[in-house]
Amino acid sequence: MKEILFNDLGENQDYQKTWDFQETLLGEAVATKSRNREKEKQGNTDFEQTKNHLLFVEHPHVYTLGKSGHIENLLASQDFLSQIQATFVKTNRGGDITYHGPGQLVGYPIFDLDNFKPDIHLYMRNLEEVIIRTIADYGLKGERSKGETGVWLDVGKPYARKICAMGVKASRWVTMHGFALNVNTDLKYFEYIIPCGIKDKAVTSLERELDRKIPMEEIKDKVKNHFEEVFEAEIL
């Protein structure tokens, strides 16, 4: 069975430092694949196994803009960001602008898709499936919205709303970045951006939908369990 190495980085972890850590893990996997290619050229089949990692983290208030995003979707000035104790980072994932903060479970899978299936579209649908199954444990019907990555509630209705944003990058089939599931998130921070560049849809959280706070350890366990199911792997 495939293995995924799990690391919970905890609360209040700086976005840039966590991004750097992801880059380190991705770099290790890419280097392993490069060595394997050289061995293959030489007729050596003693290949090294790349490692798959899953990181969980909660960030302090930060807005991140994807490489294809539009800065005008940030509605706040730098002075205002300072007032609300938020920072802004341009990142190299796909997607537009989003928010990370306390009470939000951010997951960063650094997976070598050659260990699963080298298909980014399938990978994104599998990430969505993990979250869809997780929120189903709480009686919520998560859905996909055509052309809009992530997990939504009440798709096609005037009150459609996003509960989990996603954006990734891949290099030689090794992924980084991932998903941000709103658990007990302070949703007012989304008022200062156009989330994911989508103007006509709202954002929600498990806390808002269920009218109660959800223990973070509880939701982490559920997400991990569904990662094992969907990706047919064992989390260590």
Check residue 197 and give its pLDDT: 86
- The residues facing 170 across adjacent strands are 175
**Residue 162 near residue 151, CB atoms below 8 Å:** yes
Q: Please state, in angstroms and rounded to a whole number, the distance separating the CA atoms of residues 111 and 114.
A: 9
Nearest 5°: the CA angle 73, 77, 78 is: 115
pLDDT category at 20 given cuts 50, 70, 90 is very high
Q: For residue 54, what are its two tokens?
A: 């899953």
pLDDT category at 219 given cuts 50, 70, 90 is very high
Q: Flag whether pLDDT at 184 surpasses 90.
A: yes
Give the residue carrying structure tokens 């190299």.
92
Convert 33-55 to b/e letters by CB count within 10 Å (16 or more is b).
beebeeeeeeeeeeeeebbbbbb
Average pLDDT over residues 123-134: 98
pLDDT per residue as tens digits for the range 47-90: 999 999 999 999 999 999 999 899 999 999 999 999 999 999 99
Catalytic residue among 25, 57, 130, 196: 196
* C-alpha distance from residue 226 to each of 129, 142, 149, 219, 223 (Å): 8, 14, 19, 11, 5
Check residue 79 and give its pLDDT: 97
The residue among 98, 90, 127, 105 whose CA lies nearest residue 196 is 98
Q: Flag whether pLDDT at 200 surpasses 80.
A: no
Domains annotated for the chain, with CATH where assigned, are 2-235 (3.30.930.10)
The residue among 56, 53, 109 whose CA lies nearest residue 221 is 56
164 counts as catalytic = no
Element at 40 (helix H, strand E): helix 15-41
Q: Please state, in angstroms and rounded to a whole number, the distance separating the CA atoms of residues 109 and 159.
A: 30
Average pLDDT over residues 94-122: 97
